[in-house]
A and B are shown apart, each in its own frame.
Chain A
Amino acid sequence: MRAVSVVDYGMGNVFSVLHACRSVGLDASLTEDPEAVAEAEALIIPGVGAMPDAMTVLRSRGLDAAIVDSASRGTPVLGICLGFHLLMSNGTEFGEHEGLGLLPGTVLRLPETGNGRGGVLPVPNVGWRKLSLSKGAVDSPFDVLHDGSQLYFVHSFYVKPDPTVSIVATSSYGDFAYCAAARSGSIFGCQFHPERSARIGLSVLERFAALISAR
């Protein structure tokens, strides 16, 4: 049975993640229990909000150590939006602070980007945006996507991975290209919301389910 634990630390639309997973045949359950997280077959880390607050909550519940412990055993982990940011070494929102350190790299605020008419694009970046795929997509939940696939984004910060991390997809905010999805081994992260990106988003979760089964 393909099971995934969705880490519930009180931030983000966990209800939607849960139901999106179930709709593609994943036995998904919410958990805030560090033991369950440490022993999970697979993990999804959702989230919307500020990274330092999220890290504070994870630490206070021992979930940070549990996630790292689980990942160290090769458990597939999918970080979505803020969940992706949390996987990184550090972030810069409200001052520099540490992330989980599972993917080397940092999290930065989207820069002011021209809108082509003398003004700047609004922040947060909200809406359906196109992806450009890279070779690193093979054998990841993202290999169901292709150049031009449109997924739903809502964010003010973006991930800047270190070179050791494989950037699987990029997207553009005006002329500014940024990482839309990345992976290192079985650790995957996406800036977009597969659980809110209609059928194409569900196909990413379905692919994640297949990867879990294949282990």
Chain B
Amino acid sequence: MASTRRIIPRLDIKGPNVVKGIRLEGLRVLGKPEAFASYYYEHGADELFFQDVVASLYERNSLHDIVKRTASRVFIPLCVGGGLRSLDDIKTVLRAGADKVALNTAVVRDHDLIRQASRRFGSSTIVVSIEAGRLPSGGYEALTDNGRERTGLDAVEWATKAAEFGAGELLVTCVDVEGTGRGFELGLVEEIKAKVGIPVIAGGGAGHVTHVADVLAPGRADAAACAALFHYEAIRNIKQTDDFHASINLNAMRTRAVNSSINPSSIPRLRAALKSAGVDVRTTEVAGAGA
């Protein structure tokens, strides 16, 4: 039988803010990560994923502060990725309160870093993040630096190798669908899942609860990471505080720039939809689950 699937809100973080973009361009500020993290925790998220989308040395401290503040009040697993280059970088973010780290660029350049990190911190702590770009000839190429750099590596082969080197989990995102709200790249997820013996998390593309049901079907992902699907619902409901720049967000919501492919959903509503679709997910007692 398939094991219970996981629902993982993904927050893209730039400096002190949560941002959202389409195809990793055109970032829009949505608010404070801590506010979103608390909201998702209270609404039954299984885990959280923070992706640092700028990942420069300057911004590193604010990310650590965000991790600390989140980990001190949100008691579900937290994975952090973006710009982690060394064992020391990993250690620092784990000590700040992260449970897992997601690695991409650094491990494409040095495959052995997976083995070293896995040995030192435990393989379950090390998630290798695969950003895949569709090739005109068919197949996918692995990309790095938030989808900006090509590697010449076949994404599926690289995924297999990453698992062999000791990754605990794989996060698989197709950059061509990320942020579009048109659904996950199901074929890619299936292909990778068939070849590796470790859990696979699908990231990027969800615009509707049915997309999540599709990607969590048998033979596909063990978990789904969603951003826009949740953020555009959260943003309407998170209580406005001084920390939460409501004026920016409400304007963003009101403009026609909001991706019309996205049908926002709360986590409880997604959970209910998944159960109806026969997907095994955790049962939580959260207000609004029946909605």
Task: Tell me the A residues contacting B by CB distance below 8 Å.
Answer: 11, 13-16, 19-20, 23, 48-50, 53, 82, 115-117, 120-130, 150, 152, 154-156, 173-174, 193, 195-199, 201-202
Q: Is B76 an interface residue (CB 8 A)?
A: yes
Contact of B98 among A13, A115, A123, A195 (CB under 8 A): A13
Residues of A within 8 Å of B223, CB to CB, are 127
A154 to B75, CA, bound (A): 15
Give bound CA distance, A38 to B177, whole Å: 55
Please tell me which stretch of B21-29, B65-73, B108-116, B178-186 contacts chain A, meaning at least 4 of its Cβ atoms lie within 8 angstroms of it: B65-73
Nearest chain B CB to A201 CB, angstrom units: 6
Closest to A199 in B: B75
- Verify A198–B96 contact, CB threshold 8 A: no
B89 to chain A, nearest CB (A): 16
Q: Determine whether the beta carbon of A123 is less than 8 Å from that of B197.
A: yes
Tell me if B76 and A152 are in contact (CB < 8 A).
yes
Q: Is the CB of A127 within 8 A of B168?
A: no
User: Which of B122-130, B225-233, B262-270 is near enough to bind chain A?
Assistant: B122-130
The residue from B6, B122, B199, B282 contacting A122, defined by CB atoms under 8 A apart: B199
Interface residue SS majority, chain A: mixed
CB distance from A105 to the nearest CB of B (A): 21
In angstroms, how far is the closest chain B Cβ from the Cβ of A112? 9
B207 contacts the other chain (CB 8 A): no
Once the chains bind, are A156 and B282 in contact (CB under 8 Å)? no
Cβ-neighbour of B122 out of A19, A50, A129 (below 8 A): A50
Is B198 a contact of A122 with CB atoms below 8 Å? yes
Nearest B residue to A123, CB-CB = B197
CA distance A121 to B5 in the complex (A): 13
Q: Does B169 lie at the interface of the complex (its beta carbon under 8 Å from any beta carbon of A)?
A: yes
Of A16, A150, A173, A193, the residue contacting B97 (CB under 8 A) is A16
Decide if B210 is an interface residue (CB 8 Å cutoff).
no
B4 at the interface (CB under 8 A from A): yes
Task: Give 11 new A-B contacts, CB below 8 A, not counting A15-B96, A19-B72, A127-B199.
Answer: A15-B97, A23-B73, A48-B125, A123-B198, A124-B123, A126-B6, A128-B46, A154-B124, A173-B3, A196-B76, A197-B75
